[in-house]
Amino acid sequence: MKDRIVFSTDPNVDIHNESNELNEKKILLKEQNLRIWIEKRPCNKVVSIIRGFIGTENELKDLSKLLKKRCGVGGSVKAGGIIIQTKNRQKLLQILNDLGYSAKLSGGQIFN
């Protein structure tokens, strides 16, 4: 992104630190408090839902794409959560922990 000149009457404004402020606002991965839920859907389909992600819509979609690719399954992003079409929450937990996220299993087990 090109630098733009900003006019300000405040003598303490530093226009060169705008990009640094954006980086400071990004939440560290370990500060994310992700929960992996399991849910039974109609027709006895089981999905895992990851909730608690803090970030932009694009970051959420990128994480969803990565998880779907590594698990070899489908899924979607809805209402700020990532829906993955698998009941293997341990694999999701391992992937998220390897990426540096703080994640835990929630929501119990579904027995068939």
Structural contact between residues 6 and 13, judged by C-beta atoms closer than 8 angstroms: yes
**Which pLDDT does position 96 carry in this prediction?**
94
CATH 3.30.780.10 fits 28-105, yes or no: yes
Dist CA 24 CA 40 (whole Å): 39
Three-class SS state of 29: helix
Query: Which pLDDT does position 49 carry in this prediction?
Result: 95
Q: Where along the chain do its domains lie?
A: 28-105
pLDDT of amino acid 61: 94
- Residue 29: its pLDDT value, please? 76
Give the pLDDT score at 22.
Answer: 46
Tokens matching residue 53: 């992600």
Q: What is the mean pLDDT of each run of 10 residues along the chain (112 residues)?
A: 58 57 58 91 92 91 95 94 94 93 85 60
Q: Where are the alpha helices (DSSP H) in the chain?
A: 18-25, 57-71, 89-99
